[in-house]
Structure 1
C-alpha cells in the first residue's frame, strides 16, 4: 500500500461552517490540492490561516467538457499519490465530498485499481443550507439533480427538486428548456446563489421563462422547484397515463371501460392502427399525435386487463421490449458492426434466431414461411409470404416470368367465369390472379398494400369530384348517366395533372 489520499469537505461556503477537524487537517497537511479556488472558504483559509493550495482550475481551461475535466483531475491526483513514498495527500472539495462531487466518485474507482488508500472526511454540503434557506423539509419527498445531465423524464413534480451544478447562464438555459417540458412557462422557481454565505447570498423567485436571464450563476448556484401535487403537471408522464387507465378500469371508474375484455376491444386495436396509417399517408403530424395516443390507449387497456389478474403489467411489456431492442441491436449496444442497413437487418434476423434457440426452438426446423401473422390483411400477408419464399430461392428469375404467370391466371379466371364454374372455383382463380399481382409488385419494389391504398385514394378523389360537379348542376348521381359521369371523371384527372405540375 502506498500513500493515502484524504478528501476533505470545505463546506457550503461560510467559513463558520467549516468543521474544526477539517480545519486542523488542512493546517497540518504538507500538500493540499483543491478542485477550484473559486470557493469562499479557500480565500478565507489563505488569508486567515496562511494555508497554500495547488488548484486544478487550469484543467477547466484545457478541457472541452466537465467529464474530461473530472477525469483529468482524478488522474493527476492519483499520479501525485503514486509519487509519494509515505504521507498523506489532502484533496479539498466544495461542500461534502459525497454530494455532487464527480471527482470523488472517480477517485473511489481509481484508488481501488491502484491500491491507494482513500479516506473521505465529510463536511457541510450545500444541501444543508438549501433546506434551511429555501425552507423545505426533504422528508416530504426530495430529489437532487445535476443541471448538466438534466432530462424531463428525471423530474418528478410531486417531489421538492433541487438542481445543482448550474455554473452559467447557458446551463440555466438548458435547465429551463427541460423544465418547460413539464411546467408552464410562468411557473415560479427559485434561484439561490451562495446560500448561507454572508454578503454573497442571493435568493430570487422568478418565472421559469426568465431562468437564463438571472445574473450571477457560478459554482455556488442552485435552482429550486417546489413540489406540486397538481395532476396536470404529470400529464406528459407515462406513470400518469398508467394511473388514469387503472382508475378507468377500477370499481370507481368508467362502467364501459370496466366491462371490456380482450375480445370486445380487439377490433378497436385494428381500427386505431389504420387511423394512424391514414395520418401518415396524409402527412398530418397534429392528427398523427392524436391517433397515436388512441392506439397507445388500446395497448394500455390490454396490458391493464392482464395486470388485474396478475399476469403482467405494461411495465413488463416495456421491460421485455427494451431487452429485445438491446439484444437485437448488437451493432449499437454490443461489439458487432453494421456499416449499412442490410447488415443491420442481418444482425436483427440472426439475433431473432438466437432468441428462438434460447426458448428451445430450432429455427432450422421451422418452415421458411413461419413468422407471418395469421390475421394481417391478405394482400400484406401474400407479400410477406412471397418474400420469405424468395429468400430461400423459390422465385421467378425475372419479372417477365411473373407477367407470364399473371396472364395465365387471368386467362384461367376468364375461363372459369365464361364456362360457369362454381363460385368457389371462380373465387380461387381470382385469388390466383391477385397473388401473381403481388408477385409483380415485389419485383418492382412496391408494397401492394400501399399501391392499392393510393389507387383507392385516387378513385375516391375523382368520384367525389363527379359528385361535386353534379351537385353544382343541381343533379344527383341517379339523375346522371355514365357518359356524363365519365366526362367529369376525365376532368378530375386533368385537375390532378394540373395540381401535380404546380
Structure 2
C-alpha cells in the first residue's frame, strides 16, 4: 500500500478561514509539518495543543528560498518512507503562490500518493478588500519574478509576501520600468483577519510603508504602462477613425522610405556610440515594424502576433546548438548550420536562386554577400595578395578606359568590386569603412572652413591651392588632438 502525503491549506487568516474537513483531518493526524508557524491559523492550532514540526529553521540556515524548498522536499520524502500518512500544511491555498508544493508534486508524485486539499487563498479576501473584480484580468507574480514577466499595466497586478522594506524597494524599482512613478498602489496587511489594513500610496513611495510576511502589494490597471501592448494600442488608435490623418493614409509602399531612413539613423547612433540616441532610434525602427503590422492587420494579411511567431520559431529552429542537441565548437560551424537550415526551409535551388538577396540592399553590402556566396564554392582568392593584385589590375583597366573614353562606368564598378573583395580578406566592412571616411572628410572640411573664416577668408573666394593650405592645417589639428587623447 502506497503512503500518502496530505498537503493542506491553512487559509489566509485564522481558524475561521480553514475548512472543517481539513481541521478535523489535521487534528487527527499523527505526523504534521508546517512550512511556517508564522501564520494566524498555525498559531491558533498550536494553542489548541497540536504537535507539529516546522521548517522555519531552514529559512535561517539556507541562502535562498529555493534551497529552503528543496530542504522541505528532502525531509518530507524521508518522512513519507517511514509513516503511512504525513500532513504538510501551508498558508493560504496549497497551489496558489506556493513553490514548495510545486516541487513536492514534481519530485514525489511517483513515490507517494499526494493529496492536495483545497482551501481559501489570500486572493479571496483580497478581491473584496479593494473591490477588485478578477474578470477584469489580473497577474499574480512573486516579487522576485517581475522583470520580463509580461506585465503590461492593462490588468491588476498582485504581488504577495512582500515582507520587508528591502524587498519593497526592489519591487518598486522593477515596477517603475513599466508604471509611472505616480501610479496608484495598494499595500494590504493581514488579509482576512481582524488586523486587516488597506493602505493606498503612489508607487515611488511604496517602500516607505510597513511590511511583514502577511503583506500583499496590488497595482490597479494603469493606462500609462510601458509595454509592447501599449505601443500596439497607440498604433491602432492612430490608424482608427478620429486618429491621425497622415497615419491613416499610409501603406506598405508609402512607408518604405521611412523604414530605410530609420535603419540608417540606428546605424548612425551606433557609429557615434551614442547609446541614449540609439535607444530612441531603435524605438523609431520598432515603430515601423508595428506600423506595417497594423496596416497588414487592417487588410486581413497578417497580425503582429504572426510577426512574433515567425521570428520566435525561426530563432529556435536555426539555433539547434542552443535549443536542441546539436553540438558546435565555434561560430563558423554555427553559420554553416544556419545556412543549411535556411536552405532546407526555403527549398532553395542553388542553380536558380543562388543570389536570392534583397535587390534593395546597399551596393557594397550586396557585393560582400555575393562574394561570400561564391566563395563557398571555392571561387575566391587564396589570400589578400591575389585580391590586392586584382585591385591594381582593375585600376589599370579603368585608366585605359578613361583614355579611350569608353567603358568607364563598367571599369569603375569592377574596381569598386575588387576593393570590396579585398576588404573581406582584411576583415573590414566596406560600408563602415566608407562611412567613417565620409565622416572624417566632413569633420575636416568643417574645420577647414572654420580656420579660413577665423582669418577672415571665405572659401568661395579661395583658389584650390589656398583651400588646400587650410585643409592641411585641419588635418594637422585633428592629428594633434588624437595624440593628445591617446598619450
User: TM-score, normalised on structure 2?
Assistant: 0.92
User: More deviation in 290-299 or 451-460?
Assistant: 290-299
User: In the alignment, what sits opposite 1:51?
Assistant: 50
Distance 1:119 1:304 in 2: 49
User: In the alignment, what sits opposite 1:442?
Assistant: 424
Match of 1:239 among 229, 237, 245: 229
Residues 411 and 156 of structure 1, relative CA distance in 2, 3 Å threshold? closer
Distance 1:98 1:303 in 2: 39
Deviation at 1:439, TM superposition (A): 1.9
Is 1:374–2:359 an aligned residue pair?
yes
Match of 2:204 among 191, 209, 215: 209
User: In the alignment, what sits opposite 1:13?
Assistant: 13
Residues 359 and 438 of structure 1, relative CA distance in 2, 3 Å threshold? closer
Query: Contact conserved, 1:189 with 1:226, CA < 8 A, in 2?
Result: yes
Residues 263 and 185 of structure 1, relative CA distance in 2, 3 Å threshold? closer
User: In the alignment, what sits opposite 1:410?
Assistant: 395
Query: Contact conserved, 1:327 with 1:351, CA < 8 A, in 2?
Result: no
Match of 2:114 among 105, 113, 118: 118
Distance 2:202 2:119 in 1: 33
User: In the alignment, what sits opposite 1:356?
Assistant: 343
| Structure 2 gap segments, 5+ residues each | none
Distance 1:79 1:449 in 2: 66
Q: Which runs of structure 2 are paired with 1:314-325 in the superposition (5 Å)? A: 314-325=304-315
Secondary structure in structure 1 of the residue aligned to 2:280: helix
Deviation at 1:320, TM superposition (A): 1.0
Deviations 1:337-380 (A, max 9, x none): 445xxx24522431442243245446xx4579534332211112
Residues 254 and 132 of structure 1, relative CA distance in 2, 3 Å threshold? closer
How many residues of Structure 1 are paired with residues of Structure 2 in the alignment? 484
Deviations 1:228-280 (A, max 9, x none): 3x3xx13x211121122222223433332222222222122112111111111
Query: Contact conserved, 1:328 with 1:347, CA < 8 A, in 2?
Result: no
User: In the alignment, what sits opposite 2:375?
Assistant: 390
Deviation at 1:445, TM superposition (A): 1.5
User: More deviation in 121-130 or 345-354?
Assistant: 345-354
Residues 366 and 484 of structure 1, relative CA distance in 2, 3 Å threshold? same
Is 1:432–2:414 an aligned residue pair?
yes
Is 1:305–2:295 an aligned residue pair?
yes
Is 1:500–2:487 an aligned residue pair?
no
User: TM-score, normalised on structure 1?
Assistant: 0.89
Distance 1:418 1:352 in 2: 45
Query: Contact conserved, 2:152 with 2:229, CA < 8 A, in 1?
Result: no
TM-align CA RMSD: 2.4
Is 1:221–2:215 an aligned residue pair?
yes
| Structure 1 gap segments, 5+ residues each | none
Deviation at 1:206, TM superposition (A): 3.3
User: In the alignment, what sits opposite 2:281?
Assistant: 291
Secondary structure in structure 1 of the residue aligned to 2:279: helix
Is 1:137–2:133 an aligned residue pair?
yes
Secondary structure in structure 1 of the residue aligned to 2:109: helix
Residues 181 and 307 of structure 1, relative CA distance in 2, 3 Å threshold? same
Residues 300 and 349 of structure 1, relative CA distance in 2, 3 Å threshold? farther
Deviations 1:60-103 (A, max 9, x none): 3443322332233234323322333x4x3211111111221122
Distance 1:109 1:412 in 2: 74
Deviation at 1:419, TM superposition (A): 2.0
Secondary structure in structure 2 of the residue aligned to 1:52: coil
